[in-house]
């Protein structure tokens, strides 16, 4: 996949959540929450965005938590990815 995000944008791929709860209950497709943990595939260069200097704090391969409805979903080469602004990333998962 060749996607190069611009400015403060980041390309992420959502990570599938487990289909069973900790207590062993199997969840159906409609009962599962929308996944919010994603892996970063590409990072924009940063720079000046809306008149402010933006430094990129994430890197390719990081696992992050994004806002549930943040970003734009894109299907490229049969793979679904999401393009979000760095400010839509809530945390890095360590």
Other C-beta atoms closer than 10 Å to the C-beta of 27 total: 13
Please give the average pLDDT of every successive group of 10 residues along the chain, which has 94 residues: 90 77 63 74 93 94 92 92 95 92
The pLDDT, as a whole number, for residue 18 is 55
* CATH (domain of 56): 2.30.33.40
Tell whether 70 is covered by a domain. Answer: yes
The pLDDT, as a whole number, for residue 76 is 86
Residue 90 in tokens: 């809530």
Tell whether 3 is covered by a domain. Answer: no
Tell whether 59 is covered by a domain. Answer: yes
* Domain count within the chain: 1
Kindly report the backbone phi and psi dihedral angles of residue 48, in degrees, each rounded to the nearest multiple of 5, phi listed first: -90, 120
Other C-beta atoms closer than 10 Å to the C-beta of 57 total: 11
pTM given for the model: 0.78
Give the Cα separation of 30 and 51 in Å (integer): 42
The pLDDT, as a whole number, for residue 31 is 46
């Amino acid at each position: 996949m060749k996607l190069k995000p611009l400015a403060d944008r980041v390309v992420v791929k959502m990570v599938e959540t487990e289909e069973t709860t900790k207590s062993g209950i199997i969840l159906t497709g409609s009962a599962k929450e929308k996944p919010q943990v994603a892996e970063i595939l590409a990072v924009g260069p940063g720079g000046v965005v809306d008149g402010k200097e933006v430094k990129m704090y994430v890197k390719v391969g990081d696992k992050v938590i994004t806002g549930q409805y943040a970003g734009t979903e894109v299907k490229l080469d049969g793979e679904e990815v999401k393009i979000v602004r760095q400010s839509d990333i809530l945390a890095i998962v360590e």
